[in-house]
Chain A
């Protein structure tokens, strides 16, 4: 069974770049979509974007100018970079995956990692 684990700094300064990695265990990167979703404290869920195993990406237009999602098949990891962060980017960041029959169906999810943007 595939399991996902997010990792990365829990504190990022304003205007800097947030960088997170999701490590996949128990399965392969191939033939799946690899997704990032975030949730500000006490608020709802926002889809950030995903990458297909082929390397093609789709981002949420609200974040597209600042987001990069990449894949490292050798390490069975995928990453999120969000540039020029502000306090509004403070959130729990989740990685998840979805299959080709439903790219927008996210299961399973990682446990999430809280990233706080503050000086």
Chain B
């Protein structure tokens, strides 16, 4: 199985801050990396696919980058509705695996 790690596991930030989350795969996954946002008590929401492509309807302040084993999710200007947990996930090969999540909360 491909193992996914994320850093940091949590972070505190203020509205308007630029936030970057890192995700690393245990082997090369090309650009087969997705990002999800999950708020308490709700299902994950699909944000970014193929490492850097924004899903329809996702605000442009979200961006993704990377390839191979190292990836990033950046929120350019944090908004109140962005406080949530973010998961990376590889879609390169089954079993599809998720990172442990990064919780973004209010400073």
Which residues of A are at the interface with B, using a C-beta cutoff of 8 A?
44-47, 58-62, 94, 102-112
Closest Cβ of chain B: how far from A113's Cβ, in Å? 11
- The CA-CA distance from A108 to B95 in the complex, in Å, is 19
Is the CB–CB distance between A108 and B98 below 8 Å?
no
Given contacts A44-B87, A44-B101, A45-B87, contact A106 B94 (CB under 8 A): no
Contact digits for B25-54, partner A, Cβ 8 Å, 1 yes 0 no: 000000010101000001111100110000
Enumerate chain A residues within 8 angstroms of B81, measured Cβ to Cβ.
none
B69 at the A/B interface (Cβ < 8 Å)?
Answer: no
Given contacts A45-B98, A47-B96, contact A109 B43 (CB under 8 A): yes
Enumerate chain A residues within 8 angstroms of B91, measured Cβ to Cβ.
102-105
Is the CB–CB distance between B34 and A104 below 8 Å?
yes
Given contacts A47-B97, A104-B34, contact A111 B49 (CB under 8 A): no
Enumerate chain A residues within 8 angstroms of B87, measured Cβ to Cβ.
44-45
Residue in B42, B87, B94, B98 with the greatest tally of chain A CB atoms within 10 Å: B94
Given contacts A45-B89, A60-B95, A109-B43, contact A104 B100 (CB under 8 A): no
CB nearest to A6 among chain B residues? B43
B92 at the A/B interface (Cβ < 8 Å)?
Answer: yes
Enumerate chain A residues within 8 angstroms of B99, measured Cβ to Cβ.
44
9 smallest CB-CB distances across A and B, nearest first, come from A104-B91, A107-B46, A109-B43, A60-B95, A45-B98, A104-B96, A47-B96, A105-B49, A58-B94
Is the CB–CB distance between B95 and A109 below 8 Å?
no
Is the CB–CB distance between A110 and B34 below 8 Å?
no
Is the CB–CB distance between A61 and B98 below 8 Å?
no
Residue pairs across A and B with Cβ atoms less than 8 A apart, 7 shown, are A45-B87, A45-B89, A45-B98, A94-B43, A94-B44, A104-B94, A106-B46
- The CA-CA distance from A44 to B49 in the complex, in Å, is 19
Is the CB–CB distance between B44 and A61 below 8 Å?
no
Is the CB–CB distance between A111 and B42 below 8 Å?
yes
Closest Cβ of chain B: how far from A45's Cβ, in Å? 4
